[in-house]
Amino acid sequence: MEQNQCVVFTRWTVQIVRGTPWFVDVVELRLFESFTKSSAVHVTLKAGHAPPNTRKDKDNKITLKLLKTETKGLKSRRSWTKRRNSDSCESVTFVDDGGEEVPMEIVARIQRACSQLEAFEFGKRFRKQWVVPVLQ
């Protein structure tokens, strides 16, 4: 099979409560640039457990800013997906209850070329089976 796609896995972190790191994992499925100027990017984001004391409602939802788009009300361990014809995801920002934006830092980034079928399976497994670690 032709390896015409690239899978990029990035783990982001921010320290919010008492120095305990909190993680957000992002998977990008990128088409290699062909005849167009920009390649299509399919981004899937999955957050760990929402940090305590960040939301007062019972659902414990969080807000993240990704690719200049806000993902409001994202529940922990749920995925959010966006398809764009743009650059890769180079920043993720946590938005707290007061509306203050806290930039997140990259812990790890791995990328590799793959076929279309492999990229589809990786994205499917990430959405349904991937678990983001929680440190306490």
How far is residue 34's CA from residue 113's CA, in Å, rounded to a whole number? Answer: 15
Residue 38 in tokens: 């920009």
Question: Where residue 136 falls among pLDDT bands split at 50, 70, 90?
Answer: low
At residue 108 the predicted structure's pLDDT band, cuts being 50, 70 and 90, is very high
User: Residue 35: its pLDDT value, please?
Assistant: 38
> For residue 51, what are its two tokens?
């940090």
